[in-house]
Amino acid sequence: MALSCQPKTDYQAKVNQLSAEWITANAQFQETKSKVQNNLQTMRSLLPNINLNTEAFYKRNISEQNFLKEMKNAFDTQINGLTNVHQQVLEFETKWTAHYKMLNEIQAEIQTKTESEDLDQKIQKVENILLENPSLLVAWNRNAEGSLTTAMTAYQHIFQIQKPQN
């Protein structure tokens, strides 16, 4: 949406709207970032408890050993996948922070009545990242929840089978 011919009051209204949207979007982003980090930390904290190189493991029959290996692989796959998602979140956070600084610059330009020639482009960039944010958050939340659920299921199977036999 081009705003180049709009008077300052129109810019002010638009920037006020963007600022309000930013507050909501940022809260959602921070919540998603925390969920990804917390789920990854939970999964990593369980990893030391999974040891397939034990005497108890080798006392199991081949079928149980293979199942335990599959569950360990499933657990590792979830950690690796969520680690990749976490990296995406951190990379996006860098971009997100840069756009927040841009929004602050826009606000300052309007307040000081020193609108730059590229003000419309800056506003468009901020609008674009606000439009991009929801779909990323949905995907990251889905990945965080799915990874943790799958990893916990694998962990429970491993834990049940690793119990000492009577």
Segment 53-112, tens digit of pLDDT: 888 888 999 999 999 999 999 999 999 999 999 999 999 999 999 999 999 999 999 988
Number of independent structural domains in the chain:
1
Residue 77 within any structural domain of the chain: yes
Question: Which structural domain, as residue segments, surrounds residue 141?
Answer: 63-111+119-155
Measured between alpha carbons, how far is residue 76 from residues 43, 67, 131, 166 in Å? 9, 14, 33, 29
The single-letter DSSP state of residue 25 is H
Tell me: the pLDDT tens digits for 16-32? Answer: 999 999 999 999 999 99
Does residue 52 sit within a domain?
A: no
Specify if 106 maps to a domain.
Answer: yes
Residue 11 lies in a domain: no
Residue 145 lies in a domain: yes
C-alpha 44: how far from chain center:
16
Tokens describing residue 79: 């950690």
Phi and psi at residue 3, to the nearest 5°:
-120, 15
User: Quick check: is 3 in a domain?
Assistant: no
